[in-house]
Amino acid sequence: MQEFDRKAHWQNVYEHKEVTEVSWFQAKPVLSLELIANSHLQPVSPIIDVGGGASVLVDQLLEQGYTILPS
């Protein structure tokens, strides 16, 4: 049996598929936005999108009035 090459697999996915073609892409990350809203954070509260990749969560949060703190 041939061993699965995980690195080659994911390299192939990212080279041959558009961001919107992968199964985990969400045009609007509804659950994440709901969880953040239910946390009652202030617009200047720090939020980190861990492992977000090409996520549009940051764009959605900015549209809702959250701000980016200067680094």
Is-contact 43 70, C-beta < 8 A? no
Query: What is the total count of domains within the chain?
Result: 1
Note whether residue 69 is domain-resident.
no
Could you give the CA distance from residue 8 to residue 69 in angstroms, rounded to a whole number? 37
Inform me whether the pLDDT recorded for 71 exceeds 90: no
Extract the tokens encoding 42. 């202030």
pLDDT in tens, 4-56: 999 999 999 989 999 899 888 889 999 999 999 999 999 999 998 887 778 89
d(Cα 58, Cα 49) in Å, to the nearest integer? 8
Measured between alpha carbons, how far is 13 from 21 in angstroms, rounded to an integer? 10
pLDDT number for residue 35 = 96
43 is in which domain, residue-wise? 6-63
The predicted structure's pLDDT at residue 18: 93
In a domain, 68, yes or no: no
As a whole number of angstroms, the distance between CA 14 and CA 10 comes to: 6
pTM here?
0.72
40 inside domain: yes
Give me the pLDDT at residue 49, please. Answer: 85
